[in-house]
Amino acid sequence: MHSFTLICLKMIIVVVFQVLFLTKISYSDHLTAKVTGFEDATSPIHIWGYDRKFYFEEGSAPLFMIVERDINNFNKINLKAFPHIKIGLFAFQDLDKDGKFSKDFKGEPLEPFGFSLNAESKYQDIVFEDFVFDMEKFTEVEIKLRK
């Protein structure tokens, strides 16, 4: 009997925890990313979301990576499933279709790229604070690709 009660108590705790986790209002229910300025309608657009400055500076471990291959969806990529409030978006068009952001030997971009809030600095000069935004304050983020 004691074992059954203990198991039931554990199950109730797990269910309550899951309910609280699922009802947490930290998801953006309305945010979409609009990508403009792409060169070739047949090349995929990649959007990487960063929530930590360290990961962006290291060029590793984005929070999410979206690849959109359909030309009809380039301007309406839905971001409502991502649970972070402050996030920065980096987008690029993968012209060589290798799944990576291509740069030359000096670190200059070879493919069209852009950031949320459309920071205008050179690629190497962009810092995390230039493109991070609060997901609750925007309904649509436009990213203009440039080379």
SS3 of 53, please?
helix
Does residue 35 register a pLDDT over 90?
A: no
pTM for the whole structure: 0.75
* pLDDT interval class at 18 (50, 70, 90): low
Residue 16 lies in a domain: no
Are 117 and 133 in contact by the 8 Å Cβ rule? The answer is yes
Q: Is residue 92 part of a domain?
A: yes
Show the domain range for 41. Answer: 32-144
Residue 70 — pLDDT band, cuts 50, 70, 90?
confident
* Residue 88 counted as domain residue: yes
Residue 110 lies in a domain: yes
Structural domain count, the chain: 1
- Extended beta strands in 15-71, E state: 32-36, 45-50, 64-68
Residue 78 resides in a domain: yes
